[in-house]
Amino acid sequence: MNPHPLARLSKAAILSVAFSLATLAQSTDSSPSTGSTTSRKIQANDIIAIRVVGEVDLSMERRVGEDGMITYPYLEALKVSDKMPTEVEKMIRDGLKGDYLVNPQVTVDFKEYVKQFVNVSGMVNNPGRIELPVDRRLDLMDVLSLAKDLSPKANKNEIVLTRQGQPSKTYKYSDLQSNTDPEKRIYVEPGDQIKVGERIF
Protein backbone atom coordinates (compact mmCIF):
# COMPACT_ATOMS: atom_id res chain seq x y z
CA MET A 1 0.00 0.00 0.00
CA ASN A 2 1.31 3.42 -0.99
CA PRO A 3 1.50 5.98 1.85
CA HIS A 4 -1.06 8.73 1.87
CA PRO A 5 0.15 11.92 0.03
CA LEU A 6 -0.21 13.94 3.22
CA ALA A 7 2.09 11.51 5.00
CA ARG A 8 4.75 11.99 2.32
CA LEU A 9 4.34 15.76 2.60
CA SER A 10 4.68 15.62 6.37
CA LYS A 11 7.92 13.66 6.16
CA ALA A 12 9.32 16.08 3.60
CA ALA A 13 8.40 19.03 5.78
CA ILE A 14 10.08 17.46 8.81
CA LEU A 15 13.28 16.82 6.83
CA SER A 16 13.24 20.39 5.54
CA VAL A 17 12.88 21.85 9.03
CA ALA A 18 15.60 19.56 10.40
CA PHE A 19 18.01 20.62 7.63
CA SER A 20 17.28 24.30 8.30
CA LEU A 21 17.93 23.91 12.02
CA ALA A 22 21.20 22.07 11.37
CA THR A 23 22.33 24.80 9.00
CA LEU A 24 21.46 27.49 11.54
CA ALA A 25 23.35 25.66 14.29
CA GLN A 26 26.44 25.33 12.10
CA SER A 27 26.31 29.04 11.29
CA THR A 28 26.05 29.90 14.98
CA ASP A 29 28.94 27.56 15.89
CA SER A 30 31.27 29.14 13.34
CA SER A 31 30.98 32.66 14.73
CA PRO A 32 33.72 33.68 17.20
CA SER A 33 32.77 33.77 20.87
CA THR A 34 33.43 36.55 23.36
CA GLY A 35 36.80 35.08 24.31
CA SER A 36 38.06 35.57 20.78
CA THR A 37 37.55 39.30 20.96
CA THR A 38 39.55 39.79 24.14
CA SER A 39 42.41 42.28 24.11
CA ARG A 40 44.57 39.99 26.27
CA LYS A 41 47.45 38.07 24.77
CA ILE A 42 48.01 34.42 25.59
CA GLN A 43 50.67 33.76 28.22
CA ALA A 44 52.46 30.78 29.73
CA ASN A 45 50.24 28.60 31.97
CA ASP A 46 47.01 29.91 30.42
CA ILE A 47 44.53 27.23 29.41
CA ILE A 48 42.99 27.81 25.99
CA ALA A 49 39.99 26.06 24.47
CA ILE A 50 40.34 25.23 20.78
CA ARG A 51 37.19 24.34 18.87
CA VAL A 52 36.95 23.19 15.27
CA VAL A 53 33.34 23.05 14.12
CA GLY A 54 32.27 19.49 13.32
CA GLU A 55 35.63 17.99 14.35
CA VAL A 56 35.45 16.50 17.83
CA ASP A 57 38.97 15.04 17.67
CA LEU A 58 40.41 18.48 16.88
CA SER A 59 38.48 20.33 19.62
CA MET A 60 40.33 20.35 22.92
CA GLU A 61 41.85 22.34 25.77
CA ARG A 62 45.56 23.00 26.01
CA ARG A 63 47.70 24.50 28.76
CA VAL A 64 50.41 26.79 27.45
CA GLY A 65 53.85 25.64 28.52
CA GLU A 66 56.50 27.78 30.17
CA ASP A 67 58.13 27.99 26.73
CA GLY A 68 54.92 29.42 25.26
CA MET A 69 54.19 26.28 23.25
CA ILE A 70 51.23 23.93 22.90
CA THR A 71 50.93 20.63 21.04
CA TYR A 72 48.13 20.11 18.53
CA PRO A 73 47.20 17.22 16.23
CA TYR A 74 48.82 17.30 12.77
CA LEU A 75 50.53 20.63 13.51
CA GLU A 76 52.77 19.36 16.33
CA ALA A 77 54.16 22.25 18.43
CA LEU A 78 52.76 25.75 18.08
CA LYS A 79 54.17 28.94 19.62
CA VAL A 80 51.12 30.74 21.02
CA SER A 81 52.43 32.95 23.81
CA ASP A 82 52.27 36.71 23.23
CA LYS A 83 49.65 36.14 20.54
CA MET A 84 45.98 37.11 20.50
CA PRO A 85 43.43 34.26 20.38
CA THR A 86 42.45 35.43 16.89
CA GLU A 87 46.07 35.03 15.76
CA VAL A 88 46.14 31.45 17.05
CA GLU A 89 42.82 30.77 15.33
CA LYS A 90 44.42 31.77 12.03
CA MET A 91 47.53 29.66 12.69
CA ILE A 92 45.43 26.55 13.28
CA ARG A 93 43.01 27.31 10.45
CA ASP A 94 45.85 27.80 7.95
CA GLY A 95 47.62 24.68 9.20
CA LEU A 96 44.57 22.45 8.82
CA LYS A 97 43.27 23.93 5.59
CA GLY A 98 44.02 21.98 2.44
CA ASP A 99 45.82 18.86 3.64
CA TYR A 100 43.33 17.96 6.35
CA LEU A 101 40.12 20.04 6.05
CA VAL A 102 38.56 22.03 3.22
CA ASN A 103 37.41 25.07 5.18
CA PRO A 104 38.02 24.64 8.93
CA GLN A 105 36.05 26.92 11.25
CA VAL A 106 38.26 27.50 14.30
CA THR A 107 37.71 29.44 17.51
CA VAL A 108 40.19 29.89 20.35
CA ASP A 109 39.04 31.13 23.76
CA PHE A 110 40.49 31.45 27.22
CA LYS A 111 39.42 28.64 29.54
CA GLU A 112 41.61 29.85 32.39
CA TYR A 113 44.21 32.56 32.46
CA VAL A 114 47.02 33.61 34.74
CA LYS A 115 46.33 36.93 36.42
CA GLN A 116 48.50 39.79 35.22
CA PHE A 117 49.43 42.96 37.09
CA VAL A 118 51.15 46.30 36.89
CA ASN A 119 52.66 47.95 39.94
CA VAL A 120 51.96 51.54 41.01
CA SER A 121 54.20 53.26 43.55
CA GLY A 122 55.04 56.74 44.74
CA MET A 123 52.59 59.56 45.34
CA VAL A 124 49.22 57.87 44.77
CA ASN A 125 46.54 57.32 47.36
CA ASN A 126 46.53 53.53 47.08
CA PRO A 127 49.88 52.18 45.82
CA GLY A 128 50.31 48.54 44.98
CA ARG A 129 49.51 45.99 42.31
CA ILE A 130 46.70 46.61 39.83
CA GLU A 131 45.20 43.53 38.18
CA LEU A 132 44.73 43.84 34.44
CA PRO A 133 41.30 42.81 33.14
CA VAL A 134 41.08 40.22 30.40
CA ASP A 135 38.41 41.99 28.36
CA ARG A 136 39.98 45.41 27.80
CA ARG A 137 43.23 47.35 27.85
CA LEU A 138 44.07 49.86 30.56
CA ASP A 139 45.92 53.09 29.91
CA LEU A 140 47.91 55.13 32.42
CA MET A 141 44.89 57.20 33.44
CA ASP A 142 42.88 54.03 34.11
CA VAL A 143 45.67 52.68 36.30
CA LEU A 144 46.06 55.92 38.25
CA SER A 145 42.31 55.98 38.81
CA LEU A 146 42.41 52.41 40.17
CA ALA A 147 45.22 53.54 42.49
CA LYS A 148 42.77 56.15 43.88
CA ASP A 149 44.44 58.95 41.91
CA LEU A 150 47.38 61.18 42.82
CA SER A 151 48.03 62.20 46.38
CA PRO A 152 48.35 65.89 47.38
CA LYS A 153 52.15 65.50 47.40
CA ALA A 154 52.32 64.21 43.83
CA ASN A 155 54.45 65.83 41.19
CA LYS A 156 52.02 65.88 38.27
CA ASN A 157 54.88 66.33 35.82
CA GLU A 158 56.64 63.15 36.92
CA ILE A 159 54.67 60.02 36.09
CA VAL A 160 57.32 57.48 35.18
CA LEU A 161 56.53 54.31 33.23
CA THR A 162 59.18 51.57 33.28
CA ARG A 163 58.82 48.55 31.02
CA GLN A 164 61.18 45.60 30.94
CA GLY A 165 63.82 45.93 28.27
CA GLN A 166 62.98 49.56 27.51
CA PRO A 167 64.14 52.91 28.88
CA SER A 168 61.80 54.62 31.34
CA LYS A 169 59.48 57.32 30.02
CA THR A 170 58.09 60.29 31.94
CA TYR A 171 54.64 61.75 31.33
CA LYS A 172 52.69 64.77 32.55
CA TYR A 173 49.35 64.22 34.22
CA SER A 174 47.80 67.11 32.28
CA ASP A 175 48.85 65.56 28.95
CA LEU A 176 47.44 62.16 29.91
CA GLN A 177 44.21 63.73 31.11
CA SER A 178 43.65 65.83 27.99
CA ASN A 179 44.35 63.00 25.55
CA THR A 180 40.99 61.80 24.23
CA ASP A 181 42.29 59.93 21.19
CA PRO A 182 42.24 56.16 21.93
CA GLU A 183 45.04 55.61 19.41
CA LYS A 184 47.37 57.95 21.31
CA ARG A 185 46.70 56.81 24.86
CA ILE A 186 49.54 55.23 26.81
CA TYR A 187 48.43 51.65 27.38
CA VAL A 188 50.09 49.54 30.04
CA GLU A 189 51.39 45.99 29.69
CA PRO A 190 51.82 43.20 32.26
CA GLY A 191 54.79 43.83 34.54
CA ASP A 192 54.92 47.59 33.95
CA GLN A 193 56.11 49.75 36.83
CA ILE A 194 54.43 53.13 37.27
CA LYS A 195 55.91 55.57 39.76
CA VAL A 196 54.58 59.03 40.60
CA GLY A 197 57.21 61.46 41.83
CA GLU A 198 56.94 63.70 44.90
CA ARG A 199 56.42 67.40 44.57
CA ILE A 200 59.17 69.57 46.04
CA PHE A 201 57.71 72.43 48.09
* CATH code, domain carrying 176: 3.10.560.10
* Cβ-based neighbours of 61, under 8 Å, separated by 6 or more: 47, 48, 49, 50, 111
Quote the domain boundaries for residue 57: 34-112
Q: Do 83 and 153 sit in the same domain of this protein?
A: no
Q: Do 149 and 100 sit in the same domain of this protein?
A: no
Q: What is the pLDDT of residue 19?
A: 38
Is 8 within the bounds of a domain? no
What's the domain count of the chain?
A: 2
Cβ proximity of 122 and 109 under 8 Å:
no
Convert the pLDDT of each residue in 26-38 to its tens digit.
333 322 233 344 6
pLDDT means per 10 residues, the chain with 201 residues, are 44 41 33 47 94 96 96 94 95 92 94 93 97 90 96 96 95 94 92 95 72
55, 88, 112 - which closes a domain: 112
Is 4 within the bounds of a domain? no
Rounded Cα–Cα distance for residues 174 and 23 (Å): 55
- CATH assignment of the domain containing 98: 3.30.1950.10
> What's the maximum distance between 2 C-alpha atoms anywhere in the chain?
104
Q: Do 87 and 122 sit in the same domain of this protein?
A: no
Q: What is the pLDDT of residue 152?
A: 95
Beta strands 193-198 and 117-122 are: parallel
Is 101 within the bounds of a domain? yes
51, 81, 112 - which closes a domain: 112
Q: What is the pLDDT of residue 150?
A: 97
Cβ proximity of 50 and 111 under 8 Å:
no
